[in-house]
Amino acid sequence: MDLNLAGKHALVCGSSQGIGKACALELASLGANVTLFSRNQTALEAVKTELDTSQGQQHNVLVADFSQPEQVKTAINNFITEQHSFEILINNTGGPAPGLAINSDANAFVNAFNLHLVSNHHIVQALTPNMKSKGYGRIINVISTSVKQPLNGLGVSNTIRGAVASWAKTLANELGEFSITVNNVLPGATATARLDAIIAGKAKKQNISIEQATINEKNIIPMRRFAKPEEFAAAAAFLASPAAGYITGINLPVDGGRTSCL
């Protein structure tokens, strides 16, 4: 099985911590040159020092706020003009604030749409010309299992994740003929700062300890534990590899079996 990414260039969004960072580490370990892309330059520079360089990989850092799509568009287009091009894209950013859909301000949906879909779209439009000319493209979107089964208490997130999944499936149909695959990887409960915040919120709301809220979350997962970020990254890296060249348009949960539908 060909998992070799030597000579490939990967843009990894939301990579200063958590799932995105784990993806960046995994892609670099398979030989890719990685560009880390999010808001916190200091944190990104620190991650950059952890990336594998044993095959001569060159890594970079790019900064923009994905809640400002025009900023993202300018940053990525300027970067590409400076002779950078990519065959692999991991679309990822911070999750919307929790809360019931019915109580959410209408602007929260607009903001989340900008953060998760419009910014992704600017990046895809900037990167696909090179993917087409190389005859190799891998677009991987980090979404959520809520694409398959809405999660209680994540009203804005559930809504926007569905839009991102439909956008991705449409792109898979449009870009397949250019050997560009578009796939969604859906994290379940993954041990990151985002999960800590969600569990703390549930503990407060239910007036239980964080320890009890953690046990409750694990008990609804057949594997009875949270994912390590690197377990998610392994799935994303496989989809980025030559070995996954005929897989496109899918939603792949990495959730320890938590999603109860087929």
**Interface contacts to ligand NAP, rule CB under 6 A:** 14-20, 38-40, 43, 65-67, 92-95, 115, 142, 144, 187, 189-190, 192-195
Judged by beta carbon, residue 55 or residue 114, the one nearer ligand NAP is: 114
- At its nearest, how many Å lie between ligand NAP and the CB of residue 145? 7
| Sheet strands (E) in the chain | 9-13, 33-38, 60-63, 88-91, 137-142, 180-187, 251-254
In the bound state with ligand NAP, the residue whose beta carbon lies nearer, of 136 and 203, is 203
Residue (28 or 195) nearer to ligand NAP, CB: 195
Q: How many angstroms separate the CA atoms of 65 and 114, rounded? A: 11
Beta bridge partners of 154: 99
Residue with token string 């959410």: 104
Rounded least distance, CB 214 to ligand NAP, Å: 12
Distances (CA, A) of 252 to 137, 163, 229: 18, 16, 15
Rounded least distance, CB 135 to ligand NAP, Å: 30
Write down the residue that tokens 């850092």 correspond to. Answer: 61
Beta carbons of 226 and 189 less than 8 angstroms apart? yes
If the CB atoms of residues 40 and 251 are measured against ligand NAP, the closer one turns out to be: 40
Which of 231, 218, 155, 152 lies closest to 186 in space, CA to CA? 231
User: 109 vs 136, which CB is nearer to ligand NAP?
Assistant: 109
Is the CB of 16 or the CB of 241 nearer to ligand NAP? 16
Rounded least distance, CB 13 to ligand NAP, Å: 7
CB of 177 to ligand NAP, least distance (A): 30
Residue 6 beta carbon to ligand NAP: minimum distance, rounded to whole angstroms: 26
* Residue 3: CA count within 13 A, CB half-sphere: 12
